Amino acid sequence: MGLPVRAALVQAVGGPFLLDEVELDGPGVGELRVRVTASGICHTDLTYRAGAGRFPFPAVLGHEGAGVVEAVGEGVTGFEPGDAVVLSYYSCRACGTCERGHPAYCERGYAGNFSGARPDGSFPMRWRGAPIRSGFFHQSSFATHVLAHQHNAVKVDRKAPLELLAPLGCGFQTGAGAVLEAFKLQAGQQLAVFGVGAVGLAAVMAARVAGAASILAVDLDAGRLELARELGATDTYLAAEPELTKTMLKRTRGGVDFALECVGIPQVLRQAFEVTRPLGTCGLLGLPSPEASEVTLSMTRLLYGKRLVGIIEGDADPKTFIPRMVALHAEGRFPLEKLSRSYDFEAINDAVHDMEARTVIKPVLRMHGGSTR
Ligand SMILES: [Zn+2]
Ligand SMILES: [Zn+2]
């Protein structure tokens, strides 16, 4: 008999979230049972709700959880009940890729994050007596309690503001990690960011932290560009502006050191590549739709020492990078509160609606009403 907890279930492709009781297993080897305080909603949750995982529903999604450890399984070291944790993506910490310091590309990452099951294929949650797809990113954080793994939990101060910190586990890490870990942007360099939602704005904040000489932001939405400016963008452009590439090349005297595509649209990747200067790097963060995932680029321009790189989770190791973002936030240099809005767990469908309508940048669900823990 598992522990009865509340979870938001997706019952069919594209369907609404249904809050109901599910049963959660006890923590297995290496696992932690976490009482979830808050969970961010990331675009990847919506992509999976739309069927990207090709696994059968019902399923419990959610992968930006933060909360308090309630119980630990066999073999867990470094965590005890009462610890506050931010949850991130799973990595095995033992394969060649993990050992080379790139856990975002872990050889077991697909099984541990995207399969809708534990890495061994089992399911931590049951609904009406039957196992359901859960363990998404080894958490499925759209629930009051989850099983995480010691490899994807990061301890933070017990007094830390978990509701603000929850989205550090994916979206904010992706944008900030790309700039600070993948690019290792240096003071005086230039960055262009295409698409300033949660990921792009995290990139803007990180570039300011690193001392970028100019930060160019592009978006469809004037309101978001205003926020980008407030967070550190030096130049902002509406995506619809005619001759935008030319304007940006002129402004940067031949292109930026680094460009980031944060929306997953082929034409936008081409534009980001075009404003990258010779010897510069263009990074892709956006997840394309399967129907439009091919791009045409100039091979001639590529020859000029340009690099084009895909980046998952900012190529950041959450065990070190999340504490770094927490510290920046505490210093006031990573003002997360300007990007997120809280919703009660019961209002998850409203939160998703607002996200899709682009009236909120980062919705964060509070799992236990008004209580902060
Ligand atoms: Zn690994
Ligand atoms: Zn995500």
Enumerate the β-bridge partners of residue 341. Answer: 363
Asked whether 166 and 38 are in contact (CB, 8 A), the reply is yes
Reply yes or no on whether the pLDDT at 61 is more than 90.
Answer: yes
Which residues share a beta bridge with 32?
72, 148
Between residues 287 and 226, which one has the greater pLDDT? 226
Q: What percent of the chain has pLDDT over 90?
A: 95
**Contact yes or no for 316/184 (Cβ under 8 A):** no
Taking only the tens place, the pLDDT of each residue in 192-214 is 999 999 999 999 999 999 999 99
**Closest by alpha carbon to 269, among 288, 252, 254, 253?**
288
250 Cα–ligand 1 center, Å: 43
CA 242 / ligand 2 centre spacing (Å): 32
Distance from the alpha carbon of residue 111 to the mean position of ligand 1, in angstroms: 11
User: What local confidence, expressed as pLDDT, does residue 372 receive?
Assistant: 46
How close is the Cα of 88 to the center of ligand 1, in Å?
14
Cα(102) to centroid(ligand 1), Å: 8
Q: How far is the CA of 41 from the centre of ligand 2 (A)?
A: 8
Ligand that comes closest to the CA of residue 114: 2
| pLDDT tens per residue across span 250-261 | 999 999 999 999
Residue 288 Cα, ligand 2 centroid: separation in angstroms?
14
Task: State the residue for tokens 């930006």.
Answer: 64
| Interval between CA 76 and ligand 1 midpoint (Å) | 18
Average pLDDT estimate for 358-366? 96
Residue ranges with CB less than 5 Å from ion ligand 2:
42, 44, 170
Reduced DSSP (H G I as helix, E B as strand, rest coil) percent helix, strand, coil of the chain, to 5: 30, 25, 40
* Ligand 1 centroid distance, CA of 100 (Å): 9
Q: How far apart are the first and last CA of the chain?
A: 26
Q: What is the pLDDT of residues 140-160, one digit of tens each?
A: 999 999 999 999 999 999 999
Q: Where are the beta strands (DSSP E) in the chain?
A: 3-10, 17-24, 31-40, 64-72, 84-87, 125-127, 130-132, 145-149, 153-156, 190-194, 214-219, 235-238, 256-261, 276-284, 307-310, 340-344, 362-366
Q: What superfamily would CATH give domain 174-313?
A: NAD(P)-binding Rossmann-like Domain (3.40.50.720)
Ligand 1 centre to CA of 159 (Å) is 31
At 369 the pLDDT is 78
197 alpha carbon, closest ligand = 2
- Per residue in 175-196, pLDDT (tens digit) is 999 999 999 999 999 999 999 9
Q: What is the pTM of this model?
A: 0.95
Separation of CA 181 and ligand 1 centre (Å): 18
Domain ranges of the chain: 3-169+339-366, 174-313
Nearest ligand to the CA atom of 93: 1
Q: What is the pLDDT of residue 284?
A: 98
**Ligand 1: centre distance to CA 195 (Å):** 30
Topology of 3-169+339-366 in CATH? Quinone Oxidoreductase; Chain A, domain 1 (3.90.180)
If you measure from the C-alpha of residue 43 to the centroid of ligand 2, how many angstroms do you get, rounded to a whole number?
Answer: 6
Q: What's the rounded mean pLDDT across residues 279-286?
A: 97
Residue 193's contacts (CB-CB under 8 Å, 6 or more residues apart) are: 200, 203, 204, 207, 215, 216, 217, 218, 228, 233, 259, 260, 262
Task: Indicate which ligand has the atom closest to the C-alpha of 98.
Answer: 1
Alpha-carbon distance 49 to 280, whole Å?
36
